[in-house]
Chain A
């Protein structure tokens, strides 16, 4: 789960990382209210789950109530890379002397934590990384040994941070590592980490990605989930316990297992179609799950055919087939559907599916054949509608 900037800063604050005082505003009135309380100048910042806010005009400095109101009105409702701004974070402006970069994440390749610090923080850190990789000091951290002041000091030196920032940066890094580990984050990133003109070091931005697998030991995360931006179908899928990602094509996909679902999308693409979604029903293929999946997909107006690709392992073919038959009785499907069922007891399953087979519900023996048929039917269905 990705946190919004203000949530990330609140998370940082719990671990003692200094952040600017500020408040949330959902309207221009509230933005002015928060600004008045903080004292000017303030920064009005769009809260969206996407980077590049500054370049898009979603971060503005305001020296007065009039300016704060004007900026809030402009930014609220603004679209930033497909995300509509519904929330603002208004914080006291910081007098910046230097901008650094700091992060902790898991380096999957090294199977260890990775700390990165750079004296050249700011918007273009990826460019810095690509052009001058040496400008980013890196240190692998053994998860069993942890990360302490000694390592933090070493990193700060290696990154070439200014001397007056050293003590503050070391403190931030040590706290940031605690936030990363105890806070069960996949990523904590501060860009920029700033040195203020009066010599303090603090986090001017916060990028925090929490590990959903650890939610069971963090009841406090519930409040973050409330602001997660999901579209209607993603919400529907989440409630049904399905892994769903909307895509921009026209063949609806249902498969069991993430790998097979991805592979099904690829195959649809290879035979000239475009997948409308990725949908993984996981290990089960009960009537409830199948009905949920069909419900999600049939609510997508761009879907012109549906491809169900299930490989029975533990889940037997007849269970899958019964699930589909029952689901078909519950969900009204208006587009043709191709079912490919293979694996354990597939023959029994296909026998059951024969009872519902029609020109709209067709079985196909192979993954490639099923994909070809689904793509072809999507074309026919479109032509049929046009008549």
Chain B
């Protein structure tokens, strides 16, 4: 099995007719993802390499039975596309768009929570999600991931996600699902959502979690791991030597206190029982070690 997306996922690509969306949408189809439709308000009725294009996400869903949206449209219009996908009844919305204003992101998150609580938004500003061999929505190069599990990956960073997939593949270790949750202030899906899903997924035997400095999501994840996760977790946090991030006035310090540094996150995760690696290579090795012991 896998989490959130699999071979039954049917994807609508917003803006399939051009730019990033076309490039990545077609790559995802080449990987084997069921890309069933495109959306462009001005080009309904046209097609892209055999994929029908509809004016709205709702029409696309109606006509093709799509249940997921892939959004790679520019930042100015991405918030509207996310809400359109949710209103059309998509279960999963993957948004890779970077540069969305934080105020828009916060409003979209709140809107989804109030009006479309069942919709799972992944991103924005993320590499997407891949269940190797089944479904790839986003910009991950599918060939660097080995299918079949037993490792589930959740990561805030794009290139470190690739690095993790690659390290595991080098050692012959497969992945059930790899979720790039993105590094924006208000991600639709967080570490805890993914940890819960991996814990419940019978095919996932262990979880690799890749975090970064800033925010307190990793600390929250650590508490969750301590209380609810029985599967082994390997964690890596990037940014030990990073310069202290932009200080958000006193308010930032008041909210986060001593949290947010790489050291604090690593300590919290270790205290929660996770194996904490010092670099991506070590993370791969720790995972291999854990799997041998399972």
Interface residues, chain A, CB within 8 Å of chain B? 2, 51, 101, 103-109, 111-114, 116, 125-126, 129-130, 136, 142-145, 181, 184, 186-187, 189, 191, 207, 209, 211, 213-214, 216-217, 245, 247, 255-260, 262-263, 265-270, 275, 278, 311-314, 342-344, 366-368
B-side contacts of A126, CB under 8 Å: 250, 253-254
Within the complex, the shortest CB–CB distance from B81 to chain A, in Å, comes to 16
Complex contact B141–A263 (CB within 8 A)? no
A-side contacts of B220, CB under 8 Å: 109
Chain B 97-129: CB-based contact to A (< 8 A → 1; otherwise 0): 001111110110111001000000000000100
Complex contact B160–A260 (CB within 8 A)? yes
**Contact among B101, B157, B252 for A211, CB-based, below 8 A:** B101
Complex contact B212–A130 (CB within 8 A)? no
Question: A186-B248, A247-B241 provided; 17 other pairs, C-beta below 8 A?
Answer: A129-B254, A144-B107, A184-B103, A189-B251, A209-B249, A213-B75, A214-B102, A256-B159, A260-B163, A263-B239, A266-B241, A266-B279, A311-B159, A313-B144, A313-B158, A343-B162, A367-B281
A-side contacts of B109, CB under 8 Å: 111, 143
Complex contact B160–A263 (CB within 8 A)? yes
Within the complex, the shortest CB–CB distance from A69 to chain B, in Å, comes to 32
Most chain-A CB neighbours within 10 Å: which of B27, B100, B141?
Answer: B141
Complex contact A189–B159 (CB within 8 A)? no
Within the complex, the shortest CB–CB distance from A238 to chain B, in Å, comes to 15
B-side contacts of A314, CB under 8 Å: 24, 27, 139, 141
Given A106-B102, A260-B160, residue A187 in contact with residue B242 (CB < 8 A): no
Interface residues on B, range: 35 or more
The 7 closest A-B pairs by CB, nearest first: A259-B157, A257-B159, A214-B101, A259-B160, A260-B159, A262-B238, A143-B106
Closest Cβ neighbor of B102 among chain A residues: A211
A187 to B247, CA, bound (A): 10
Complex contact A216–B250 (CB within 8 A)? no
Given A186-B102, A209-B249, residue A107 in contact with residue B255 (CB < 8 A): yes
Complex contact B280–A263 (CB within 8 A)? yes
Q: Does B143 contact A (CB under 8 A)?
A: yes
A326 to B111, CA, bound (A): 48
List, sorted by A's number, 6 A–B pairs whose CB atoms are closer than 8 Å: A130-B257, A209-B248, A209-B249, A213-B100, A263-B280, A342-B166
**Contact among B157, B217, B250 for A189, CB-based, below 8 A:** B250
A-side contacts of B249, CB under 8 Å: 51, 103, 105, 187, 189, 191, 207, 209
A265 to B239, CA, bound (A): 8
Within the complex, the shortest CB–CB distance from B82 to chain A, in Å, comes to 14
Within the complex, the shortest CB–CB distance from A80 to chain B, in Å, comes to 15
Within the complex, the shortest CB–CB distance from B75 to chain A, in Å, comes to 7
B-side contacts of A266, CB under 8 Å: 238-242, 262, 278-279
Closest Cβ neighbor of B243 among chain A residues: A245
A62 to B252, CA, bound (A): 33
A187 to B102, CA, bound (A): 11
A366 to B27, CA, bound (A): 28
A116 to B252, CA, bound (A): 11
Complex contact A111–B106 (CB within 8 A)? yes
Complex contact A116–B280 (CB within 8 A)? no
B-side contacts of A211, CB under 8 Å: 101-103
A257 to B210, CA, bound (A): 14
A25 to B247, CA, bound (A): 27
Complex contact B254–A106 (CB within 8 A)? no
Given A105-B249, A189-B249, A343-B162, residue A367 in contact with residue B280 (CB < 8 A): yes
**Contact among A111, A278, A368 for B186, CB-based, below 8 A:** A111
**Contact among A105, A207, A275, A368 for B255, CB-based, below 8 A:** A105
Closest Cβ neighbor of A280 among chain B residues: B159
Within the complex, the shortest CB–CB distance from A219 to chain B, in Å, comes to 14
Q: Which of B9-37 contact A (CB under 8 A)?
A: 24, 27
A268 to B141, CA, bound (A): 27
A-side contacts of B247, CB under 8 Å: 51
Q: Does B183 contact A (CB under 8 A)?
A: yes
A366 to B281, CA, bound (A): 9
A311 to B170, CA, bound (A): 14
Within the complex, the shortest CB–CB distance from B90 to chain A, in Å, comes to 20
A51 to B246, CA, bound (A): 12
Q: Does B140 contact A (CB under 8 A)?
A: yes
